[in-house]
Structure 1
Amino acid sequence: MSGVSEGTVAAPAAAVPPAARTRGLRKVYRGTVAVDSVDLEVPTGAVLGMLGPNGSGKTTTIRMLLGLVTPTAGEVELLGQKMPDGAALALPEVGALVEGPGFHPFLSGRENLMRVAAAEPLLASARIPGAVADALERVGLTRAAGRRYRGYSLGMKQRLGLASALLVPRRFVILDEPTNGLDPAGTREVRAVIADLHAAGTTVLVSSHLLAEVEATCTHVAVLNQGTVVAQGELAALLEAGSANLLVTTPEVTRAVEALRDHRIPARAVPDGLRVDLTATTAPQVVETLVHAGVPVHEVRRQRTGLEDLFARLTEDTNVIEDAALDDLATLIPEDAR
């Protein structure tokens, strides 16, 4: 008889290792610290948005992940391989677009892509024409495939770079500012490509300054500031943990505001009820205060922080998020940045 016998506890499923991981990653250029003590994890199957102001170390971190730059200190693991020693095993499974594409200006888009495909270790020669045609179609460049690259717009060049990363199915795709130079239609197409990759189980890392796109496409976020990671985790959890306001629906708004202010809890009337500042209190304490004051409470909900607000708080002041909910994420690093 197959299966687990009575009284036997089935062993838990093994945890899936991350697609990429860094520990104590540091890079110094001529005395300038570009990346400092970065501990980053990219969960397998996730779409992780890497955010940060200019000069925060995003591209340098990506280049070290890919083995293009040697760290000054620290460790990098990509698809289970120590980098850069394991590059020959890991990189064929990785598609990447980093710091803009580079192609031969006198060749057409298709000819450039054919050359890239010829060097692709996972692509048999007989499959090259079909793979190139599929990649061009996927990024919307089929009609312009015969034009010389030097005549391409910035957005078209970016599309061709994205096509080169998608020539074969990948376990991991890394896109550094993939929507740079794209019009709204092109941006929507890139969003669709990322969604397709995610649906197929591919892990995607997207470095972008377009917060709305990250919020629309990513499942996880890592925020870098001044060369280090100040927060990382599931996007929904980070947004919830970053919420510092509570929305309370009650028919007696004035009484509610007065009751809370009597207990030194900041609150103000809003069209739907009242907004309570949770910086120095908790949601249960707010409800308890209102109930004891005889104020009817119809609904209580935490006001969801937008990614733009969260990003501003994290990059302008790394000490602002101390909400207990972040303990579950175990992601505010280093310790002295809390």
Structure 2
Amino acid sequence: MTSTAVETGAGISDEVPAPAVPLAARTRGVRKVYRSTVAVDHVDLDVPEGAVLGMLGPNGSGKTTTIRMLLGLVRPTAGEVELLGHTMPEESAHALPDVGALVEGPGFHPFLSGRDNLLRFAAAEPRLASSAIPGAVDAALDRVGLTAAARRRYKGYSLGMKQRLGLASALLVPRRMVVLDEPTNGLDPAGTREIRRIIADLHADGVTVVVSSHLLAEVEATCTHVAVLQSGTVVAQGELADLLESGNAALLVRTPDAEQAVEVLRENRIGARLTPDGVRADLTATPAPRVLQVLVQSGVEVHEATRARTGLEDLFARLTEGESAAGDEAEGDQS
């Protein structure tokens, strides 16, 4: 936590904690057990107000269960959950009108049209007057690009169209928070770009967005914050830029002699590997000038060298694979 100095009559006092960032949602020590299966284990999650938080993790890591507990759809076995300042699930009636959600795929009546399905959803919105329902439905359909297919039966919709209709149901009225579980599932590239645009618009309006996704490139393109889950626990969370900066330092070298460069660096005890962009040299224990010196003195042509930025894919692999390896080792020690 950052600190700040406070001025008093006697001068500058000792540093005190700076005001905490307001949170749209939080969990503390949350645990969920289904019979003998631990789905979520002591998760402490912070969702800052106005952030776009990407929840990442392998299948079975606890992402959807955590989201369901945030929304009050599942009662935690232990721990505390707050959503928009309300204790969940006890005060869900106060929090949920300000939350739009698409979790585990939309559920609609197959023989009704997309518009008629949305009209039924709109009728259940506590903050939407009856006279405003048709206009709100048409605006939501237009926002997700379904106006032309609004009168088609839902059973004839493609998977991507069903996802769009589910998103429209979450955006019928202005929200303080929107929760989307795999929102780009089944969408083509154009549809994916539309979802990215909608998330950007929500963020610009100050809406807090939580996105669960397995598409790392989409999370990196749209999210301001990230929480990485593995085996039911949070292994990392924070601002995306800070997490990427904390990745292993590396130098990206562009050379026509890439294989020779890797061999030379490894011979000099410098970690290196081939990537689609060139040779990635590890700078954890070796300064960049030393890497270049070794390459040039060995006759390797260096066309360009830049500090490599850790990508979300590399960070995700390091966090989740590291945890898996540690778990496997622990199991081996117990056997």
Shorter-normalised TM-score: what interval? Answer: 0.7 to 0.9
Query: Paired residue for 1:44?
Result: 49
1:103 match: secondary structure: coil
Corresponding position: 1:71 with 2:76: yes
Which of 139, 159, 162 aligns to 1:134? It is 139
Distance 2:149 2:271 in 1: 59
Confirm whether residue 200 of structure 1 aligns to residue 209 of structure 2: no
Partners of 2:119 and 2:265 lie apart in 1 by 71
Pairwise CA distance, 1:245: 1.2
- Give the structure-2-normalised TM-score: 0.80
* Aligned CA distance change for structure 1 residues 258 and 172 (closer, same or farther; 3 Å): same
1:165, 1:259 → 2: CA distance? 53
Is 1:150 equivalent to 2:155 in the alignment?
yes
Report the alpha carbon displacement of residue 118 of structure 1 after superposing the two structures with TM. 0.7
**Once the two structures are superposed, what CA deviation does each residue of 1:72-93 show, in whole Å capped at 9, x if it has no partner?**
1111111111111121111110
Deviation at 1:319, TM superposition (A): 8.9
Check whether the contact 2:105–2:166 (CA below 8 A) recurs between aligned residues.
Answer: yes
- Distance in 2, matches of 1:177 and 1:248, equals 36
**3-state SS, counterpart of residue 49 of structure 2:** coil
Counterpart amino acid of 1:170? R
Could you tell me which residue of structure 1 aligns to residue 61 of structure 2? Answer: 56
Q: 1:177 to 1:270 in 2, by over 3 A?
A: closer
**How many Å separate the matches in 2 of 1:196 and 1:270?**
35
Q: Which of residues 60, 80, 87 in structure 1 aligns to 2:85?
A: 80
8 A Cα contact 1:246 1:275, kept in partner: yes
1:221 aligns with 2:204: no
The alignment partner of 1:318 has SS state of helix
What amino acid maps onto 2:222 in structure 1? Answer: T
CA distance in structure 2 between the aligned counterparts of 1:270 and 1:34, rounded to whole angstroms? 36
Shift of 1:275: 5.2
Shift of 1:165: 0.2
SS for the counterpart of 1:85 is: coil
Q: How does 1:162-311 map to 2 (within 5 A)?
A: 162-247=167-252, 265-266=270-271, 276-279=281-284, 281=285, 283=287, 302-311=307-316
Instruction: Give the deviation of 1:276 after TM superposition.
Output: 3.9
In the TM superposition, what is the alpha-carbon distance from 1:301 to its structure 2 partner?
5.4
CA distance in 1, matches of 2:85, 2:76: 18
**Secondary structure, in 3 states, of the residue corresponding to 1:75?**
strand
- 1:266/1:180 Cα in 2 relative to 1: closer, same or farther (>3 Å)? closer
Q: Is the 8 A contact 1:260 1:290 kept in 2?
A: no
Q: Secondary structure at the match of 1:317?
A: helix
Equivalent-residue separation in structure 1 for 2:90 and 2:150 (angstroms): 36
Alignment of 1:28 onto 2:68: no
With over 3 angstroms needed to count, the CA separation of the structure-2 counterparts of 1:165 and 1:271, relative to structure 1, is closer
Whole-angstrom distance in 1 between the partners of 2:107 and 2:276? 53
Root-mean-square deviation (Å):
3.5
Preserved contact between residue 223 and residue 231 of structure 1 (Cα < 8 Å): yes
Of residues 264-273 and 121-130 in structure 1, the stretch that sits farther from structure 2 once superposed is 264-273
Distance 1:41 1:290, change over 3 A: same
Question: What are the ranges of 5 or more consecutive residues in structure 1 without an aligned counterpart?
Answer: 1-6, 321-338
1:25 alignment partner AA: V
**1:233 deviation in Å?**
1.0
| Structure 2 residue matching 1:143: 3-state secondary structure | helix
Structure 2's unaligned 5+ residue stretches are: 1-9, 255-259, 298-303, 326-335
Q: Percent identity?
A: 75
Task: Report the equivalent of 1:19.
Answer: 24
Q: Which of residues 307, 318, 330 in structure 1 aligns to 2:323?
A: 318
Residue identity matched to 1:314: L
Normalised by the length of structure 1, the TM-score is 0.79
Which residue of 87, 105, 109 maps to 1:104? Answer: 109
Deviation for aligned residue 1:318: 2.9
Residue by residue over 1:158-191, the C-alpha shift from the partner in whole angstroms, topping out at 9 and shown as x without a partner, is 1110000000110000000001111111111111
* Alpha carbons 1:141, 1:160 under 8 Å: kept: yes
Q: Deviations over 1:18-39 (max 9, x none)?
A: 1111111110111101011111
Pick from 109, 116, 122: which aligns with 2:121?
Answer: 116
The answer to whether the 8 A contact 1:261-1:267 is kept is: no
**What is the Cα deviation at residue 260 of structure 1?**
11
Distance in 2 (alpha carbons) for counterparts of 1:200 and 1:125: 25
Q: Distance in 2 between matches of 1:13 and 1:132?
A: 43
Q: Distance in 2 between matches of 1:118 and 1:64?
A: 25
